[in-house]
Each structure stands twice: as structure tokens, then as C-alpha cells.
Structure 1
Amino acid sequence: MLPAQQETPWLTPAEMRAWRGYMDGNQRLMEVLNRELQDSHDLSLADYRILVMLSEAPDGSTRMSDLADGVLSSRSRLTHQIRRMESQGIVERTTCAEDGRGVLAQITDEGRRRLAAAAPTHVAGVRKNLVDLLTPNELEVLADVFSKVDAAIGDR
């Protein structure tokens, strides 16, 4: 055995069950939510998430760097995605008036319309495929668990 293998604290059966259950369940959930938005509204789940963040900004716009951080995307991946979304007329890029160097992504009226149309589909999918399957206590535990995971990884 290699030294790293001897020192590795392998997962117990209970830990493995939890890990695999999370991986499989998360992948299936994201796939079904994405498919519902694609099929009904021609939006990806990633597009939807960006539109939500922009719609929640006071003036409907956010610096691209902040948006990338907010949707947990690389700046280059976000740039390509915003370019695709611009071609659909649902966002636009502008120069930041504050410093002239930053680039803002801004939701358009068409983006707001598409988001409003897609939101009921998305919420119904989240409810059907996650929320309604769990008890209130399980939902609280789920929120606590992933808040801990996010905080721990985000601090690195």
C-alpha cells in the first residue's frame, strides 16, 4: 500500500451512503430543474439564476465580477454565458459609470418578462422535487448543513 492510502481515513458505510445520496440526488435535481426551464422557457438553470440575481439588484445591474462570485462561476464562463444571454435580449452589458473600467450586466425588460414567466415553473419544480419531500425539520437541517459547507469552502 502507498503511504497516502495508509493514512486516508476512508468513509464509513454511513458516510458513503450520505455522500453518494447527495451526489446522485443533487445531480438528478439539477438536471430536472434545468430541463423544466429549458423545455418550457428556453432558459437554462444558470440563465435563470443570473436573471434572479440581476432582478434583485436595486437598479437591475451588477458588476460582472460580483455576478460571477454570486453565481459561483469563473469570470470567463460568465462572460460567455452573458454573451449568449445578450443575443437573446434578456441582459445587456454596460460600462460602470462609477469608474469607467468595470462592466455591468443588466437585466432587460425582456429578461424581466422571461424571468416572471419562468419563476412559477422553477418554484413548482423545487417544491415538487425537494421541498415537499422533506419535513420542516429536514429542511432546516438541509439549510444548516449547506450553510456550513458553503462557509467552510468559501473561507478557503
Structure 2
Amino acid sequence: MASSTLEESVRPAEPRDLRQIADIYAYYVTESVATFELEPPGVDEWRERYAAVTGAGLPFLVAEDEGRVAGYAYCSPWKTRPAYRHTVEDSIYLAQWARGRGLSGVLLDALLDRATAAGIREMIAVIADSGDPASAALHRKRGFTEAGRLRRVGCKHGRRLDTMLLQRSLMDD
């Protein structure tokens, strides 16, 4: 994928993408602490997640490279109570073979644009503090600021982990 076409590779996810999305995410579930899930969700679970996100009018995007899903990004409601209806949490994951090309930034930029168009006012990033600064740096570069830290709330692969909460306002009041 040439960098001049990275933006052009992003499109709305479709049900046919869910098998590849499940495969991408499974790596992070089993091999990393980027997510606190312990068992990779199957395609049926991804169908439910996809339906919930798109049914709420929120963006669910993929980046494609030669017909393969190279990564995906979506946002989901931050909380279910109605007062939180304009606040979402973002999720971005790349296939291992697609890392290092700036695709995370392209996906996050597209997600921010589409979330704003959907009327979202605040986006939250919940980032496991694993010692890898990449996700926090990606978000900070796009205007997210640290809103808090939850200490030792996750336990995975024998590690007690903090989560950082980063936040970005998408609209001025």
C-alpha cells in the first residue's frame, strides 16, 4: 500500500470483513495486553458488536490492502446511560503485517471525522499501560489529553496493569 493511497484504503466495514477482523483481534487477545479480553471473540460475537456499533449510528471502519483487511477502527458508546450519548470509546487494531506504515493514524483520523459527523462530542481512549508508548503517542498527536489513570485494574499474562484514560473533545460548545 503506497502511503499516498492510505486514506483511500479506509472504508466502512461490512459483514464480509468480520472474519478478518476477528483474526486481527485474536492476536491481541492471546499475545498482548492491549486488550483485557482473555478469549478471542468469534465471528458471531463480532456480528453482534458490528450490529451494535452501526445500529447506534457510529462508525466502524476498515483499511484495506489488496483485498485484505489491514486494520480496523470503531467507536462504541462510552456508557449506556442516556446522558453519555455523545461520548464514545475508540478501538483501533492493525494486522501484524500492516504495522509501521502510519495506518493507525489514518484510521484514527477517519474515525474522528466520522464520529464528529455523527454528532459525537467526546472521544475516550482507554489504553493499557503496558510500557509501549505507541497508542498513547498516536492519540496525543491527534489532540487527546490524559484524563486519568486507573491503577492495577487489569490482570493479564501474569501482569497487573494500569489503564490510561485519554480524551478529546470533537466539538466546541
Q: Normalised by the size of structure 2, how large is the TM-score?
A: 0.27
Structure with greater strand share of residues: 2
Q: Normalised by the size of structure 1, how large is the TM-score?
A: 0.30
Structure with greater helix share of residues: 1
